[in-house]
């Protein structure tokens, strides 16, 4: 199993990265291959990320909260990835990091990538978030870190269950597009 985790923070080693590291620990314990990739505005990085998503069984999109939303960097990077490839029926999870508030709207924003792509959204016992304005503060968010460890285990469970089921993919209807104004 392969999981690719995207860090949508402009701070490569900030709070969001610390949150992702908590999940990587669990993936390592379970023998799951995982990689954290830093979001970027560079086209080559975007194309490389698309290839990583194609190879992955599960995807984590993350971002710190900026003005009650995901960062501009995260939104741009994820828009570019999902415009180039639809990871249909792969497992996805969103992770956000905030100092105090705005996390649920950022969390919803990231989850939209999964639902429009027919992905399976993994969850935990609480929203997938950590709190703190520095990685050392995130260390003290015991509940947030625990929720991310649970999320990682749930992602592995879902992905492995899908593989073991060996079912054919569901039939797809030819897509109909209807504009609101005719």
**Percent over 70 (pLDDT), the chain:** 99
User: Does residue 118 form part of some domain?
Assistant: yes
Q: Classify residue 32 as exposed, middle or buried by CB count within 10 Å of its CB (0-12, 13-18, 19+).
A: buried
pLDDT at 169: 87
CATH number reported for the structural domain that contains residue 160 in this entry: 3.40.50.360
Give the whole-angstrom CA distance, residue 18 versus residue 132.
Answer: 10
User: Does residue 27 form part of some domain?
Assistant: yes
Give the whole-angstrom CA distance, residue 182 versus residue 176.
Answer: 15
pLDDT at 179: 85
Which residue range forms the structural domain that includes residue 75?
2-165
User: Does residue 85 form part of some domain?
Assistant: yes
User: Does residue 51 form part of some domain?
Assistant: yes
User: Does residue 141 form part of some domain?
Assistant: yes
Tell me the average confidence (pLDDT) per consecutive run of 10 residues in the chain, 182 residues long: 98 98 99 99 98 98 97 98 96 97 94 97 97 96 98 99 92 88 71
User: Does residue 178 form part of some domain?
Assistant: no
Each residue of 2-40: pLDDT tens digit? Answer: 999 999 999 999 999 999 999 999 999 999 999 999 999
Place of tokens 């415009």: 83
What is the average pLDDT value for the chain, to the nearest integer?
A: 96
User: Looking at the 3D structure of the chain, how many domains does it have?
Assistant: 1
């Amino acid at each position: 199993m392969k999981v690719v985790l995207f860090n949508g923070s402009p701070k490569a080693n900030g709070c969001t990265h610390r949150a992702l590291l908590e999940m990587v620990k669990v993936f390592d314990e379970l023998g799951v291959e995982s990689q954290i990739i830093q979001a970027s505005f560079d086209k080559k990085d975007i194309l490389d990320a698309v290839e990583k998503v194609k190879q992955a069984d599960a995807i984590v999109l993350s971002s710190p909260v900026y003005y009650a939303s995901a960062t501009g960097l995260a939104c741009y990077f994820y828009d570019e990835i999902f415009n180039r490839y639809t990871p249909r029926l792969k497992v996805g999870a969103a992770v956000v990091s905030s100092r105090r508030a705005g996390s649920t709207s950022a969390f919803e924003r990231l989850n939209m990538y999964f639902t429009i792509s027919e992905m399976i959204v993994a969850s935990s016992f609480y929203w997938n978030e950590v709190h703190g304005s520095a990685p050392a503060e995130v260390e003290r968010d015991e509940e947030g870190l625990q929720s991310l460890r649970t999320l990682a285990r749930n992602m592995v469970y879902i992905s492995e269950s899908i593989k073991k089921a060996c079912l054919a993919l569901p039939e797809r209807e030819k897509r109909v597009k209807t504009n609101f104004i005719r």
